[in-house]
A and B are shown apart, each in its own frame.
Chain A
Amino acid sequence: MTETFKMREIFGSFLADGEAANAFRFSQIESLLGQGRVVVLDFEGVTNMTDSFANACFANLALDHPDAFDSRVIFRNCSSVVQAFLRAAIAFGRSEAKRLQRKQ
């Protein structure tokens, strides 16, 4: 089962608010991943983002759910600007995961 979220319809064309991103990750995306479902994040119409939003949503996902993130989170219709934010956030999440593993 696949669930698609149209990011523009939820947040508007500019994804800015870290608190809102965190709530969305927790209550929507992680809830579906926990049920074994596939999550599609559609960025059509999204033109810009903040690092606060990207980190709160995508870095935390990559950090806490690396396997599900790799296999069951799909990004669609990303502009080059959106891609750059996603790359940076995902890289941060993964590096944090490694750092925490080393700590343990």
Chain B
Amino acid sequence: MSAQPHEVVLPAYGVESGLTRLIEMLSAAEGAPEVRVDFQRVKFYRPSAIVAVLARVKAWLVRGATVRFANHRECEAFRYLQRIDFFQTAGLNLPEDFFRRDRADRFVPVREISVVGSNIGVIATEITECFAPEGFILNPFYPLLQYALGEVLSNCKQHAKAMGFVAAQYTPRDDRVHFAVADIGIGIRESFRQSQSPHFRESMTDLEAVTLALRPYVSSVSHLPHIYGRPSNMGVGLSMLREITLKLHGSMFLASGRAWWTYDVEGRERQGDLTGESRWSGVICALSLRRNAVEDYSKHLAEARDALRLTSGVSRGTRRT
């Protein structure tokens, strides 16, 4: 008799407040030779939950496990998941009985990020353009969204050393664009360890690694000798995003290994460890930004740099423009 598959019954709502629970649920299937993912309850998923499920499914497939989806056609979110290419990206091609528009201003299809070949500038721009039907110039929110996507994707590409996924969604009710990137890479603590970072010590916890990664000019690779003479990453991206989301009443979520950290829209910072033996092999980074919160893109960036005490502005910096 063959062993019963490990069953993951996905919750009805995949939102940031329940993300750690979802991660724990997915994490429990690690090592199982066969995983059955039940979509029956699924009603509404934010990009963070979508990329979390996708990344785990891919990770299971990569390690040779058999993954079966159940009740996905019957769940309330079926059409939405189909429209964002969730099933197709997971490797399941289903017939479609709806008309696909080239552009949708409320969501974009899931995109896969590979270490080699992905042009993250183009991906960030294409995602941003979907939410900006009136064009980039009229609302300073869009350059900020493009910047935030670029920083998160750049981080994923440089550190994960494995594939990742990005998804984005606009919700009119709270006027927010939500986006998330999840990878199946080595995770933040392991990145510090493998690169023999001066910040690393054996006793370092995942939570210490996650909070360290949010500090300016801390990167797991900034100390490394590099084929191009200098590192590509100075450790600014995540700390800038943290500062910007705080200032603009956005939200941010970061999880890696056993740790999670979050800033919610009320400005409350929380962090902790997943329960039991749960861990996320890789990194999940999710942000939400309110579309009407941005007044002046450059000013917000300058304020964030000042708040972080990053060096800002020199008299001769752009003397030859």
Contacts and interface: CB of A to CB of B under 8 A. Distances in A.
Interface of A: 11-19, 21-23, 25-27, 30, 47-53, 55-56, 59-60, 63-64, 70, 74-78, 80-81, 83-84, 86-88, 90-92, 94-95
Nearest to A88: B312
Interface residues of B, number: 44
A22 B316 CA distance: 23
Contacts of A26: 227-230
Contacts of B305: 88
A94 B314 contact: yes
B287 to A, nearest CB: 14
A18 B314 contact: no
B230 A17 contact: no
Interface stretch (B19-27, B119-127, B180-188, B251-259): B119-127
Contact of B236 (A21, A52, A87): A52
Q: A60, A77, A86: which has the most chain B beta carbons within 10 Å?
A: A60
Given A51-B237, A88-B311, A16 B230 contact: no
A21 B230 CA distance: 11
Interface of B: 119-122, 124-125, 136, 143, 146-147, 150-151, 153-155, 157-158, 226-234, 236-237, 240, 297-298, 301-302, 305, 310-314, 316-318, 320-321
A74 B320 contact: yes
B318 A78 contact: yes
Contacts of B231: 22, 56
A28 to B, nearest CB: 11
User: What 9 pairs between A and B have smallest CB-CB spacing?
Assistant: A16-B150, A26-B228, A16-B121, A87-B317, A22-B232, A60-B230, A91-B311, A50-B150, A18-B232
B297 A81 contact: yes
Contacts of B298: 80-81, 84
